[in-house]
Amino acid sequence: MVTDFRFPDLGEGVVEGEIRKWLVKEGDDVKRDQTLAQIETDKALVEMPSPTDGMILRLYHAEGDVIKVGEILATIGEEGETPVPERKSSVSVVGELPEAPETVVKPVPETRLAAPAEPAILATPAVRKLARDLGVDISLVEGTGPEGRILEHDVRGFKPVEATVPKMRPRFDFYGYVERVPVRGVRRVTAKRMIESQTRAAHVTSMDMADVTDLVALREREKEVAQRQNIHLTFMPYVVKAVVEALKAYPILNSTFDDGAEEVIIKKYYNIGMAVATEEGLLVPVIKGADQQTILELASEIQRLTDLASSRKINLADLKGGTFTITNYGAVGGTYGTPIINYPEVAILGTGRIVDAPLVKDGEVRVRKVMHLSLSFDHRVLDGAEAASFLNEVKKHLENPGQLLASKPSEA
């Protein structure tokens, strides 16, 4: 039995994906649940399993192609069967694409185009009428019926292939040679989302700095405890904890903006996203229920999500549901930044590297450990005064880390 595999609706608003790698080729025998391809969907790399046993009869797309939900990816059947597009509901599996030879449209005489129903074309009047209704040139359709007869599904499944001349892009400009790099995968998705955020939100960035001398000392003491539990303790759990406490004090920042209804949707839960740099670009895993976790629990969850994101094995669900995002460009040496809001959230906090700086404390100039903070927010939702108050609340908890340890996780 011939089965067409279409790119499934994975939920979470996914409408397209990019084929990153085919794990099979035409002519391969496959088993049910065998992974056929890896597809990049909404920043997640998803492995698509075969729902049935059989042979790969045809692959319809190449690696790097961007496909829409519902498009046929591969046909699976038995040896000797012919791929026949079927009008069936989407199957929750994907197929793959082989190196198919180039298809060239044969020149068709104008007289034939004007009279597609000439005797040489084997098709019933009903099939001819269907072709006319669908705007299909029946003379270009390859029939799969007896003696090449054109059947209804041949017409419905026909996709014209235009003979196009490859676009020649110069490898040099007026000044010298250049290299063209296709924007694909995570970088492509990120680019689209950044433009969406910049055009749909009114960005403003407020900056400040926190004296984290005591936090640095505390973290050094707690690192040994964490290591005994195989947990890598960074400063991020403390920042997450401070942000959660600040969001409780200023809930307007723990929200999304509904453009259509012109409403601010304040979330009563705390799912904190954190930007993670990978070789493909930035991913934003989300720590669910951050208010219900201790510092070490947060550290363990951050470590898990970071490892999954870096290896591109993270689940799509781990990238959804955020209410507020933190980006730590300090990890790569950055100090200040103007982070772009993870739309439709209304704010994002950027944390810079911790540096030694002279500060006046108790009337004396002392060298202290300082962390720079940058809060980008949607000015449609809140004003500078609220943003500054939120930053002050974050600073208060970072500068008094004992309060973070004393604060107990919220009741579930």
* Other CB atoms within 10 Å distance of the CB of residue 388: 13
Q: Is the sign of the CA dihedral 356, 360, 362, 366 positive or negative? A: positive
Phi, psi of 32 (to 5 degrees): -55, 135
Active-site hit among 61, 153, 379, 397: 379
Q: Which two tokens stand for residue 93?
A: 């599996």
Q: Which two tokens stand for residue 151?
A: 């059947």
Cα separation, 361 vs 62, in Å, equals 63
DSSP 232-260: ---SHHHHHHHHHHHHHH-GGGSEEEETT
Active site residue 61: no
Phi, psi of 4 (to 5 degrees): -95, 135
Residue from 161, 155, 162, 126 nearest 141 by CA: 155
Task: Give CA angle at 120 (118, 121), nearest 5°.
Answer: 75
Cα-trace Rg, the chain: 28
112 burial via Cβ count (<10 Å: 0-12, 13-18, 19+): middle
Strands (E), 331-400: 347-361, 364-378
Q: Buried b vs exposed e over 252-265: b needs ≥16 C-beta within 10 Å?
A: bbbbbbeeeeeeee
Query: Which residues are marked as active site?
Result: 379
